[in-house]
A and B are shown apart, each in its own frame.
Chain A
Amino acid sequence: MIPELGQGVLLVALGLALWGGAAASVGGRAGRPALIESAQHAALGVFTLVSLAFALLIYAFLAFDFSVRYVAMNTNLGTPFYYRITGVWGALEGSLVLWAWMLALYTLIVVLRQRERARELYPWALAVMFVVLAFFLLVMTVAAPPFARLSPVPANGRGLNPLLEDTGMITHPIALYLGFTGFTVPFAFAIAALVTSRVGDAWITLTRRWTITAWYFLSLGLLIGGWWSYHVLGWGGYWAWDPVENAAFMPWLTGTAFLHSVMIQERRRMLKLWNISLVILTFSLTMFGTFLTRSGVIASVHAFTQGTVGVFFLAFLALVVLASLILLAWRWYALQAQGQLDSVVSRESAFLLNNLLLVAAAFTVFFGTVFPLLSEALRGVKVSVGAPFFNQVNVPLFLGLVFLMGVGPLIAWRRASPENLRRNFLVPVALGIAGAAVFFLLGVRSAVAVLALALTLFVAATIALDVSRATRARLRGGERLLPAVGGLLTRHNRRYGGFVVHLGILLIVVGVTGSQAWSVQRESTLAVGETTELAGYRFRFDGLQANEESNHFKVVGRFSVSRNGSRPALMQPTKKFYPQETSPIAGVDYSVGFWEDLYLVLGDFTRDGRQATIKVQVNRLVTWIWIGGFVLTLGTALALLPERRRAA
């Protein structure tokens, strides 16, 4: 029953999306409101139908309906309730349902929010949204049907990939997909701007919030992904330059570049062509990411199983890239700049340099990601590009970006005078240099770490300088301290929201630097009662214990951990054996702190439980990465507040 119902719903949704796309574009071209109205109804219809399909799939998971092949492959009678819900988007077919649902939701919001504004751009933007939606629905009905029937119906299912049995599985994909799909909206308006030749500021103003929202969710998705890999995968890291991580990181880089470059267009009427190109690039990269994860072209820990889906995604990627760039070439002359760069020492050029570095980083990541393919195509040799390549190329780029993060917001537009430079940068630069000296004296010997921390100090000082100056100006105007700061943040929320986001990024820089430079680890094999030491901690092995869980078998290692003779605490890293997996899965035990995390992974052990290998890590400052993510959230929220500056 459910397979047929689900298939039918998706098919009707596909028909509606196609109609919506046709109606919106014809309506936009001929200026016929009735057609556009019809397209709007279609948007509501598609959203309702996709929601229904989503609900049906969730129901099938909860009810263990193994007549649905996808359910049988990703759950079994032992799967706990919670993971039966997250299992819905745990593999290819279901992830597409989630994706399409979000896209349909965004389309509906575009209809609700934009139909009164931007009369010329809106129908075309809506048409683009429908085309993307129709593509996903097509994949779901033809290449990767989530409701395919399995017959005969098995008595039990295979079960979810155990690595996905984690709370992060609810937030990570949702945030990431909200980010990925969110970039469809700016892209849709950019295409609308090209089609209608209204390539001025209108589309940028309309999509500012959308871009920030998409960017924010993408950032959040990346951070939660890091959190997940740190706490679940058990190798003690949060980022591995895995192709799929890269696939999410590239649109983040170009999206960040776009967020900054639009400011130059708003202010100076420059970079029209560049901005449109960046949006096209960002959206194409999100499509490239979905292609990469779902085609199986490049091996990765994240890769979904392959099939014909990859061909669909590649065809659509080609369509997106070629159609957008042909439109771009067609409107080439309308996109030429009206303003020009006056001086190299100016905010414009700081932003340009920032864009250049971000795009360069995106390019190197892209190159490293497809390099295995390139090498195989040209030389017939399979090679892989590891973390050393990415780190070596990107660390200098990122350090440059941190530096610009301090320069950009304070340097003058057009041409910075020596007075402007001295006033804004003398103190922060001095602080940065002094900080570098102090870090060096404290025994920090890694040049990259010293530089990163000094730059962080420099940027933080510029922010503090700006905030204190603006607050003092308000205090002179007779305001009290708290209202003065509050007024500053809410009246100039774009600027200060940006500063808060920068602070979040700085905290992440500190966390990454600290964990790379000062983390230590040790692996030792212990018999029961033996101890090992690391960084002032003592670990005593107290024995093993085995438990039978609802869907797996678990071996628990018991360790007493004490520091400097303090009362020992019990830590219990585990190893889980799932019947459907060939290799066991590590369950990390960790304790989190502001300064350092303690991180225990259970390795091999003898059958009799007398001996076990344990990997102990003391990871420094990692917590600041997550705190940075929280600050970034606050800053984004501030930047998204409705602007009150003009009203004031």
Chain B
Amino acid sequence: MRRSLRWLIPLSTLPVLVLLAYGFRSNPRDIPSPLIGREAPSFTLTAFTGEPISLSDHRGQVVVVNFWASWCYPACYEEAPVLEQGWQRWRERGVVVIGLDIQDTDDKAKKFIADFGLTFPNARDVTGKVSIDYGVFGVPETFFIDRGGRIRLRHVGAVTTDVFRTTVERLLTES
């Protein structure tokens, strides 16, 4: 072996290390939803207040569908105030927030809504059909739907003020 060639040994590991570093760029949990760009599955449920909630009633509006549960601590507890503030701030401009409670009991869910003083429409997905239609893996997950009724973003984990603001503003500026 030529004298200088031995220094190639440490160098040869660089591609592997670079590949591993590349791994940080992708998130394996971020399973690309086949629903992105597709029409959001429709649903009609009964809200905790008793009125019906239907996705089709909000065509032409930007809709934020949030899947949550009262036992989902701490992520759902972190994002509940964010969602409420977002609803208060953007509802005038035609943004709707819909909360869907899954795998929960009625009383615990109602207590959660009361504790956080949530005023946006919330319903229980009793049969789990809606969460299956949306391919929900776990709570919380949030889907942002544009005015044309298409899912544009699927957010896994607690929604932050940043994510809410930038996504909603982007969808609002689109015609």
Interface residues, chain A, with chain B CB atoms under 8 Å away: 154, 158, 291, 295-299, 310-311, 314, 317-318, 321-322, 325-326, 328-329, 332, 370, 372-374, 376-377, 382, 579-580, 582
Q: Name A's interface SS.
A: helix
- With A329-B7, A579-B71 as contacts: A373 and B19 at CB distance below 8 Å: yes
Give the complex CA separation of A332 and B3 in angstroms. 9
Within 8 A of A (CB), among B18-64: 19-24, 26-29, 32
Which of A154, A314, A326 makes the CB contact (< 8 A) with B20?
A314
Q: How far is the CB of A305 from the nearest CB of chain B, in Å? A: 10
Give the complex CA separation of A431 and B17 in angstroms. 48
Give the complex CA separation of A325 and B28 in angstroms. 31
Q: How far is the CB of B16 from the nearest CB of chain A, in Å? A: 8
* Interchain Cβ contacts under 8 Å between A and B, 25 examples: A158-B74, A295-B23, A296-B27, A296-B29, A297-B23, A298-B28, A310-B23, A311-B24, A314-B17, A314-B20, A318-B17, A322-B10, A325-B9, A329-B9, A329-B10, A332-B6, A370-B16, A373-B19, A373-B22, A376-B26, A382-B32, A579-B71, A580-B71, A582-B103, A582-B138
Q: How far is the CB of A70 from the nearest CB of chain B, in Å? A: 13
Residues from chain B with a CB closer than 8 A to the CB of A580 are 71-73
Residues from chain A with a CB closer than 8 A to the CB of B24 are 295, 297, 310-311, 314
- With A297-B23, A298-B23 as contacts: A317 and B71 at CB distance below 8 Å: no
Across the interface, do B13 and A322 meet the contact criterion of CB distance under 8 Å? yes
Tell whether B139 is near chain A: CB-to-CB under 8 Å: yes
Give the complex CA separation of A579 and B32 in angstroms. 27
Give the complex CA separation of A314 and B24 in angstroms. 10
Q: How far is the CB of A415 from the nearest CB of chain B, in Å? A: 28
Across the interface, do B19 and A374 meet the contact criterion of CB distance under 8 Å? yes
Give the complex CA separation of A575 and B10 in angstroms. 51
- With A296-B29, A322-B10 as contacts: A373 and B71 at CB distance below 8 Å: no
Residues from chain A with a CB closer than 8 A to the CB of B20 are 291, 297, 314, 317, 370, 373
Beyond the given A296-B29, A298-B28, A328-B9, please list 16 additional residue pairs across the A-B interface where CB-CB is below 8 A.
Answer: A154-B73, A297-B24, A298-B23, A299-B29, A314-B20, A314-B24, A321-B13, A325-B13, A328-B10, A373-B19, A373-B20, A373-B22, A373-B23, A373-B26, A580-B73, A582-B137
Instruction: Report the contact-size class of chain B (Cβ under 8 Å from the partner).
Output: 20 to 34
Q: How far is the CB of B3 from the nearest CB of chain A, in Å? A: 9
Q: How far is the CB of A292 from the nearest CB of chain B, in Å? A: 9
7 shortest interchain CB distances as A-B pairs: A297-B23, A299-B28, A325-B10, A579-B71, A329-B6, A332-B6, A582-B138
Give the complex CA separation of A382 and B17 in angstroms. 19
Q: How far is the CB of B108 from the nearest CB of chain A, in Å? A: 9
- With A325-B10, A329-B9 as contacts: A296 and B17 at CB distance below 8 Å: no
Most buried by B among A298, A311, A332, A579: A579
Q: How far is the CB of A278 from the nearest CB of chain B, in Å? A: 14
Give the complex CA separation of A158 and B72 in angstroms. 8
Give the complex CA separation of A297 and B26 in angstroms. 7
Give the complex CA separation of A154 and B6 in angstroms. 58
Q: How far is the CB of A299 from the nearest CB of chain B, in Å? A: 4
Give the complex CA separation of A126 and B53 in angstroms. 67
Within 8 A of A (CB), among B99-138: 103, 137-138
Give the complex CA separation of A8 and B127 in angstroms. 50
Give the complex CA separation of A154 and B74 in angstroms. 10
Residues from chain B with a CB closer than 8 A to the CB of A317 are 17, 20
Q: How far is the CB of B5 from the nearest CB of chain A, in Å? A: 9
Q: How far is the CB of B173 from the nearest CB of chain A, in Å? A: 29
Q: How far is the CB of B48 from the nearest CB of chain A, in Å? A: 20
Q: How far is the CB of A156 from the nearest CB of chain B, in Å? A: 8
Give the complex CA separation of A296 and B32 in angstroms. 16
Across the interface, do B28 and A377 meet the contact criterion of CB distance under 8 Å? no
Give the complex CA separation of A310 and B72 in angstroms. 26
Residues from chain B with a CB closer than 8 A to the CB of A376 are 26
- With A158-B73, A317-B17 as contacts: A582 and B26 at CB distance below 8 Å: no
Give the complex CA separation of A141 and B4 in angstroms. 41
Give the complex CA separation of A374 and B32 in angstroms. 18
Give the complex CA separation of A311 and B21 in angstroms. 8
Q: How far is the CB of B30 from the nearest CB of chain A, in Å? A: 10
Query: In the complex, what residue of chain B is closest to A331 when comparing beta carbons?
Result: B6
Residues from chain B with a CB closer than 8 A to the CB of A297 are 20, 23-24, 26, 28
Query: In the complex, what residue of chain A is closest to B74 when comparing beta carbons?
Result: A158
Residues from chain A with a CB closer than 8 A to the CB of B28 are 296-299, 372
Query: In the complex, what residue of chain B is closest to A374 when comparing beta carbons?
Result: B19
Residues from chain B with a CB closer than 8 A to the CB of A370 are 16, 19-20
Give the complex CA separation of A311 and B24 in angstroms. 8
Q: How far is the CB of B136 from the nearest CB of chain A, in Å? A: 9
Residues from chain B with a CB closer than 8 A to the CB of A299 are 28-29
Q: How far is the CB of A164 from the nearest CB of chain B, in Å? A: 17
Give the complex CA separation of A589 and B138 in angstroms. 28
Query: In the complex, what residue of chain B is closest to A327 when comparing beta carbons?
Result: B10
